[in-house]
Amino acid sequence: MSSAMLDLILQATLDTLYMVAISGMISTLLGVPLGVMLYVTRPRQILAMPVLNQVLSIVTNIGRSIPFIILMVAIIPFTRMLVGTSIGINAASVPLTIAAIPFVARLVEGALNELSPGLVEAAQSMGATPWQIVRKVLLPEARGGIITGLTITVVTLVSYSAMAGAVGGGGLGDLGIRYGYNRFNPTIMVITVVILVVMVQGFQSLGDYLVRKSDRK
């Protein structure tokens, strides 16, 4: 294999990591608070706001129900407005982030759901404000579940980012399609897939390790 080819593979790998990192980070920053909101605004919860809860829930569901490949195309105007272009890794990071936010939010909500309601009650009996309950009770207690959710998100983002390759997004998916599929180069195809597999294994192991470290149960 030529050194030009190797450079190409290396660049594509870095591109994929870049897209996953950017979309993973931003979707965590926005998805975790959204997940917390989905949980605390439920009826009989610490910030019960049933109407807001319904609205958030519907918006989240809409975000989750649009197939990624359609979302990617549908939000091109928005992407262009945000990063100035609709192709390349920066452009691909936009739909990846948009798709991951509701995903993260539901997983965070699910992790909070697993907590015993007694914990919140105990904190309330100590005179904790809703914000204190979120910061000192809900988030630390659900940390393991949240990390599990974020690991699932990152792994999903790796495969979604490969899909972004289909519309000129760059990264390993792009490489696999252009060189492996369109030019009938099975070696490139296999190499791309192997790298993706290794990447997913790595993220999963890292996530598992972090969960184990934070789990005191």
Interface residue list for another protein (CB under 8 A): 116, 118-119, 121-129, 132, 136-137, 140-141, 143, 214, 216-217
Is 141 or 174 the residue whose CB approaches another protein more closely?
Answer: 141
Q: How far is the CB of 130 from another protein (least distance, A)?
A: 9
- Smallest separation (angstroms) from another protein to the CB of 118: 4
Helices of type H across the chain: 3-40, 50-65, 68-74, 76-83, 89-113, 117-125, 130-132, 139-141, 143-164, 172-175, 186-214
CA-based nearest residue to 209, from 114, 144, 112, 141: 144
Of 57 and 214, the one with the shorter C-beta distance to another protein is 214
Least distance to another protein, CB of residue 147, Å: 12
Which CB sits closer to another protein, 107 or 133?
A: 133
Closest to another protein by CB, 130 or 168: 130
Between 128 and 189, name the residue whose CB sits nearer to another protein: 128
Shortest Å distance, C-beta 116 to another protein: 7
| Separation CA 12–CA 14 (nearest Å) | 5
Other CB atoms within a 10 A radius of the CB of residue 195 amount to: 18
* Single-letter amino acid, residue 189: M
Task: Give the DSSP letter string of 39-92.
Answer: HHTSTTSTT--HHHHHHHHHHHHHHHHS-HHHHHHHTHHHHHHHHS-SSSHHHH
Q: Residue 212 Cβ, how far from another protein at the closest point, in Å?
A: 13
